[in-house]
Amino acid sequence: MKIAFAAEITPARTLIPILEKLNADIVGLTHGNGVKEILEPYCSEIYCIGHGRGLNAQKRSNFHIGYLVMKDIIQTVQAIRGKGIELLITCGNAGDVRKGLVAANLLKIPTLHIEQDIYNPIEMIAFANLVTTPSQQYKEYLHSQYALKNVKNIQGYPMASFVNKMELMDEKRVQDLYDVDDFILVVLGGDLKSENLLKLIKQVEKVELPVLIAPFRFNKDYVKRLTVSPNIKVLDGFVDVPSIMNASKSLIYGAGMGITIEAGVLGVPSIKLEGFHHKHASIELARELGILVAPIDNFVSQLNYLKTPNAQKILKNSKLSIKTLINIIENFDTNTNSKGGYNSLKKIWDARSKFR
């Protein structure tokens, strides 16, 4: 069986536990920094299909964004056309999903989408042959809210197993690398907008311990211009966040499912900032793990009262989800024609408009 995977870095970490056990020829379609290095050991071929837009002070016109997306879709089509791909798999809610699903549909390649964000999915999952969810509750939500027809519950998050086996940098090495002892890590991810940053950094400047900021989806220089405290160090845009997180005293983050799973499995006392996603599966998972969810303008006072997350349940369910997914992939019904279609696309598009 020949399978293509389209992935950014967090979805790639979700896919690895499946790739490790899957008997298939894998074509990797990478989107963004660091993905090639993660997927390379498991793939016979790897192609770059683009990069995310990022979230910094510079805005692009809708026309320019549309041009870049179409350019990447053409690049994706060229990467998988004539390769004998029998199934294309996507995961997450970023541009890699949109580009992968559009290209696969143009080429009439069957598609499987692993959905985790639930309340803010990419609209193109309406054209996936099969969509999976981490729980029965979320399966019913996708069916009732978005009219998606072919949805299966895999009962967990595969990425938790990947995080549990990650090789992390030694804590002392992290401290020496960034010249800190006890420190707080702040991760600026996709749950934040540019206009949130100044308010957030003003709060972070009240923290007594040294603070490392991983700008992640924001421009490093832009973030540095907003900081005045000598207690704060802004890191490069692409760093080993799990290792730094593991060495930190606690974590503050405005990001989604990937960082939530990492914080939970690594047992890092954390605060997840509400950001503009007031209803999100990662918020629900954070609360299930025992991670505090707090507003951007009122979280510093909670730092001394954080508890260690408990990830036993999601680790147990993660093993089950991997087994279920492998069974779905190996026995994939390529004749199924139960896509949600344009009706589902319209419902998802309207739901996503609340987050723009």
In contact, 332 and 87? CB cutoff 8 Å: yes
Phi then psi for residue 7, to 5 deg, are -155, 140
Alpha carbons 29 and 41: distance in angstroms, whole number: 14
Paired residues of 313 in beta bridges: none
Least confident range of 59-73, 259-273, 275-289, 337-351: 59-73
pLDDT at 267: 97
Assign residue 89 a region (left: φ > 0; alpha: ψ between -120 and 50; beta: otherwise).
Answer: beta
Mean pLDDT for the chain? 90
- Domains along the chain? 2-162+316-355 (3.40.50.2000), 169-311 (3.40.50.2000)
Can you read off the two tokens belonging to residue 332?
Answer: 């994939």
Alpha carbons 270 and 282: distance in angstroms, whole number: 13
pLDDT at 275: 72
pLDDT tens string 273-304? 987 666 789 999 999 999 999 998 889 989 98
pLDDT at 312 over 80: yes
Phi then psi for residue 333, to 5 deg, are -85, 100
- Helix, strand, or coil (residue 27): strand
pLDDT tens string 85-127? 999 999 988 788 999 999 999 999 999 999 998 888 889 999 9
Can you read off the two tokens belonging to residue 94?
Answer: 């970023």
